[in-house]
């Protein structure tokens, strides 16, 4: 049985594993851990659903020929720097300094990120989405908090942000009762929530019809009829952009 520290390291590296970005040896150890860890298996299933949805969520473009060369050069340079610096490369100079958060088996997050990007390009999965005027990058995923009865059935939700546009991806969400509907809201600061769409979806994705800015809260409530102009129930899904 893995220790708490080992379990945390495996959990932190599930995203890289879902992308196929872990080296073979680390991947084998991850598979061994997954065979005995129900929590990590459930998390991996959730992550794979998001990975599978990624190609359809953003427009595909043909990557420039030199991109693969540049990415692999970054990976090689990171590895060379780590070898040259030795084992103490990531150790803090002072005891009171905060420790850098390492990924599985001591890999620095920057190495895992670059390796994951390189793996996506090598697999032919290069995707691009526009997040602002002239800016590019993939969607930012924010885990939403699920409350009430929905939590007891292991419902999950992720808020996908692309600039000021947002989409709520849900899994195993209980359907509202008859003559009711789930309603999205966007709340900015202490202002009253404003309607941002209605839906009846157990597993799938729903567009947030209002612009979402950093710090805004995206909420979901159960409302009667075709929806309300103001929430009439306590939000059971809450995500902060």
Phi (first) and psi of residue 166, to 5 degrees:
-140, 155
For 142, residues 6+ apart whose C-beta sits below 8 A from its C-beta are 158, 159, 160, 161, 239, 240, 241
Q: Where are the domains of the chain?
A: 4-86+103-122, 140-240
Instruction: Quickly tell me which residue has 């691009």 as its tokens.
Output: 128
Per-residue pLDDT reduced to its tens digit, 167-211: 999 988 988 999 999 999 999 999 999 999 999 988 889 999 999
pLDDT at residue 234 in the model = 95
Query: May I ask the CATH class of domain 140-240?
Result: mainly beta
Chain-centre distance for alpha carbon 144? 10
Q: What is the pLDDT of residue 19?
A: 78
Positions of the chain with pLDDT under 70: 1-5, 49-68, 70, 74-138, 152-153
> What is the spatial distance between Cα 119 and Cα 22, in angstroms, rounded to a whole number?
9
């Amino acid at each position: 049985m893995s220790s708490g520290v080992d379990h945390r390291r495996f959990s932190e590296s599930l995203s890289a594993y879902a992308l196929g970005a872990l080296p073979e040896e680390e991947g084998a150890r991850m598979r061994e851990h997954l065979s005995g860890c129900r929590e990590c298996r459930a998390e991996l299933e959730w992550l794979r659903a998001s990975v599978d949805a990624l190609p359809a969520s953003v427009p595909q473009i043909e990557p420039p020929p030199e991109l693969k060369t540049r990415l692999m050069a970054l990976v090689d340079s990171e590895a060379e720097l780590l070898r040259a610096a030795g084992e103490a490369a990531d150790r803090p100079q002072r005891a009171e300094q905060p420790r850098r958060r390492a990924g599985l088996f001591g890999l620095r997050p920057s190495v895992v990120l670059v390796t994951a990007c390189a793996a996506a390009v090598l697999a032919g999965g290069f995707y691009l989405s526009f997040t602002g005027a002239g800016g590019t990058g993939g969607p930012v995923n924010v885990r939403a908090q699920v409350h009430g009865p929905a939590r007891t059935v292991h419902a999950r939700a992720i808020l996908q942000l692309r600039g000021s546009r947002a989409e709520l991806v849900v899994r195993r969400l209980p359907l509202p009762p008859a003559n009711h509907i789930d309603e999205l809201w966007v709340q900015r600061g202490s202002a009253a929530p404003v309607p941002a769409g209605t839906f009846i979806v157990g597993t799938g994705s729903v567009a947030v019809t209002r612009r979402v800015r950093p710090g805004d809260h995206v909420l979901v409530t159960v409302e009667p009829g075709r929806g309300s102009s103001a929430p009439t129930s306590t939000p059971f899904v809450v995500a902060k952009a």
